[in-house]
Amino acid sequence: MNYRTLVSEIPQDTDGLLFDVGSLYARLLTLPDQRKRRGVRYSLAVILVSVILAKLAGQDNPKGIAEWVRLRKEFFVRLFELRRSAMPHAVTYERILDKGLKADDLEKLAREFLTALPNAGRSVQIAFDGKTLRGVLSSDPTRKLHLLAAYLPQEGLVLFQVIVDSKTNEITVAPDLLKSLNLQGKIITGDAFHTQRETSQIIGDNGGDYVWIAKDNQANLRRDIEQLFQPEICLPATSPVINDLRSATTCEKNRGRLETRTLTVSSLLADTAEWPYLAQVFRLERRVRELPTQKTSTEVVYGLTSLTATEASPQRLLEIIRAHWGIENGLHYRRDVTLHEDQLDSRRTSLGQVMACLNNLIIALVTRLGFSNLAQARRQFDAHPDEAFKLLISCTL
């Protein structure tokens, strides 16, 4: 590969590299460097650009990143006019990503860059979910690093990601995370773990709405909702008491499975249940038929929302719930399976947090470009590192 030709395709003038003021690279140049100045051979921005380019090209651990960069050293030397032709060792990347910067600073920088892009951050739904990095220790050596994310499923964009330390859990961290967000007009979704009164109160007080699933952690609430949807036994000459039930059904065929979802809603508990801002409750039935074997399974879950019947029909609630599952497929699955996040083996908590942040950034960039297949996008950028670099010096993605 002719790296001289590649570098010539990247905008430069007599003073060197040209980049947009609001680009990711420009922002990386402002990131505080925690290292002592003595002995610094590579700027923090160059290190982070190298890591991001290597990750865009398919490398996920410090050893692979270092090898990928070393094999393209001519590209980096010419691009950044480096005095040294030798590229950093894997241990150097580990040390700098762990001690050379603060993970929270990088989180803030990535968030500000991504949300400043045209039409970014405008989607209504924010999904809450946590993820454990199985190979990274937390500050408590008996536990793995656990992170809670606020994620925009439609955009592949993580707004905030915070550590859940050993002295707390997602329930107690979620309110603080919510207070960092502008909730006006937003819909917050989460699994049953986040179905909490305090969380619902904060969301409603700040102009947002929620859609929760009710399970055994809210046993009384779940029982009340379940009872509401039990078939009524009508005596002769009487009619059903529950007459506001509305339903919607979707059917989807995918990978040899036929999945039918039926959601039924009611507003009858809104005035009697002691739950903040409750407007509707629902029953969701998922019926899955395996086409090769014709084996059928059925699952029923119950939930609640602050969205009124006027604001959210049964069809709309089905769409919201379906979109929430995107945090597993669009974020966590990609980080684990494609970006191999759980294979990172380290005792350095900060390194794990930084790598998770970079993984979120990679997913957001690729999603913004319209790729539905992350692995395919990485193969594209591996073959064309100049295209990947142009993403980092532009603010008009």
Do residues 202 and 188 make contact, with C-beta atoms less than 8 angstroms apart?
no
3-class DSSP assignment, residue 16: strand
Do residues 43 and 115 make contact, with C-beta atoms less than 8 angstroms apart?
no
pLDDT of 123 reads 93
Best CA proximity match to 363, nearest among 51, 31, 56:
56
Per-residue pLDDT at 9 exceeds 80:
no
Per-residue pLDDT at 14 exceeds 60:
no
Do residues 144 and 133 make contact, with C-beta atoms less than 8 angstroms apart?
yes
Handedness of CA 41, 44, 46, 51 (dihedral sign): positive
Got the DSSP string for 115-166? HHSTTTT--SEEEEEEEEEEEEE-SSTTSEEEEEEEEETTTTEEEEEEE--T
Question: Could you tell me the maximum CA-CA distance found in the chain, to the nearest angstrom?
Answer: 92
CA distance 129 to 131: 7
pLDDT of 238 reads 67
Query: Tens digits of per-residue pLDDT, 260-279?
Result: 999 999 999 998 888 999 99
Q: Of 80-84, 204-208, 287-291, where does mean pLDDT reach its minimum?
A: 80-84
Per-residue pLDDT at 70 exceeds 80:
yes
Cβ atoms within 10 Å, residue 33: 14
Query: Tens digits of per-residue pLDDT, 367-393?
Result: 999 999 999 999 999 999 889 998 998
Do residues 149 and 160 make contact, with C-beta atoms less than 8 angstroms apart?
yes
Name the token pair of 191.
């699994």
Q: CB under 8 Å to 82, separation ≥6 — which residues?
A: 42, 46, 76
Do residues 355 and 344 make contact, with C-beta atoms less than 8 angstroms apart?
yes
